[in-house]
């Protein structure tokens, strides 16, 4: 487990909480959207497509930030910052299915846009908390 994520906040990233992912648009404004994610050691993994703005944002600037609010205490949160370190093809939508099941849909099937699906891999480099 990374030292960047404090042990007493790790459950926010281990549980199926929604994160708010921030990326930087080509005009240098910030885009933030709720996202499913999976922590994998010192990285976070997201499902996405190559046809959307967030993907284009990350091609322009690989900086990323994800915040997760404690569902039991909205004043408690953890934000991690890092960058896009890999884009893995997922043309069957398999990772989308994994995340759908993680977030409560036991019957999750691949989405119609599976052919354009990728897994975005984010490094975890810094964190802030409250």
What pLDDT is attached to residue 2? Answer: 52
Q: Is residue 45 part of a domain?
A: yes
Task: CATH number of the domain at 104, please.
Answer: 2.30.110.10
Burial of 63 (0-12, 13-18, 19+ CB in 10 A): middle
* Residue 3: per-residue pLDDT: 80
Q: Give the pLDDT confidence of 39-64 residue by residue, as tens digits.
A: 999 999 999 999 999 999 999 999 99
Distance CA 59, CA 24 (A): 10
Domain contains 115: yes
Is 2 part of any domain? no
Number of folded domains that form the chain: 1
| CA–CA separation, 11 and 115 (whole Å) | 33
Range of the domain at 44: 7-129
Question: Does 112 reside within a domain?
Answer: yes
Residue at 1 is within a domain: no
Backbone dihedral angles phi then psi of residue 74, each to the nearest 5 degrees: -65, -5
Report which secondary-structure segment, H or E, holds 6.
none
Tell me if 66 is assigned to some domain.
yes
The answer to the question of residue 64 being in a domain is yes
pTM assigned to the model: 0.94
Specify the 3-state DSSP secondary structure of 14. Answer: helix
For residue range 94-125, list pLDDT tens digits in order.
999 999 999 999 999 999 999 999 999 999 99
Query: In terms of residues, how long is the chain?
Result: 130
Phi-psi region of 81 (alpha: psi -120 to 50; beta: other; left: phi over 0): beta
């Amino acid at each position: 487990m990374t030292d960047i994520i404090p042990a007493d906040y790790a459950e926010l990233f281990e549980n199926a909480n929604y994160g708010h992912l921030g990326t930087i648009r080509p005009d240098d404004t910030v885009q933030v959207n709720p996202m499913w994610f999976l922590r994998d050691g010192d990285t976070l993994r997201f499902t996405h497509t190559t046809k959307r703005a967030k993907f284009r944002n990350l091609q322009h600037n690989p900086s990323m930030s994800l915040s997760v609010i404690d569902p039991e205490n909205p004043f408690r949160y953890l934000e991690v910052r890092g960058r896009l370190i890999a884009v893995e093809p997922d043309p069957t939508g398999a990772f989308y299915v994994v995340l759908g099941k993680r977030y409560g849909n036991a019957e999750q099937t691949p989405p119609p846009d599976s052919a354009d699906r990728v897994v975005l891999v984010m490094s975890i480099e810094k964190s802030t908390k409250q």
